[in-house]
Structure 1
Amino acid sequence: MGKKVQFEVQPDESIDQCLDRMRAEGFVPVRRMEKPIFQEVKKGNETVYEPVGRQIVFEAKSIE
């Protein structure tokens, strides 16, 4: 009861597909988190971090 699990949106699936997968496993989303993904780029003597994407993770709880 009250078990929480995290579901990450995979690179080859949409957000809706992830939500469908979550429901099929008996969970309902309670929170959405987005984390930026950075790439290290060297510009001369300087190292710069540029955003290249984002990771979307849903926190879900059991339907029961």
Structure 2
Amino acid sequence: MNKLLKKIDEKGIKKKFFAEKLGIAYSYLNIKLQNPEKFSALEIRKVGEILNLTLEEINEIFLLRK
């Protein structure tokens, strides 16, 4: 499971609700979850707000790919 999907699950948020909050289609969210590099800077910011992530967590999910 990728780091973003794990955070979504940890917060108890349904993917459909998460996609709506991001302003993207559920099917498009599933594509993006397979490849987090596809998120735009604005989407990354929204993800941080929706999930209440710290800057460190955002960096771990989107920038520090291991």
TM-score range, shorter chain: under 0.3
The structure having more radius of gyration, on CA atoms, is 1
Determine which structure has greater relative contact order: mean sequence separation of CA pairs < 8 Å that are 6+ residues apart, divided by chain length. Answer: 1
Structure (1/2) with the larger helix percentage: 2
- Normalising to structure 1: TM-score of the pair? 0.28
- Normalising to structure 2: TM-score of the pair? 0.27
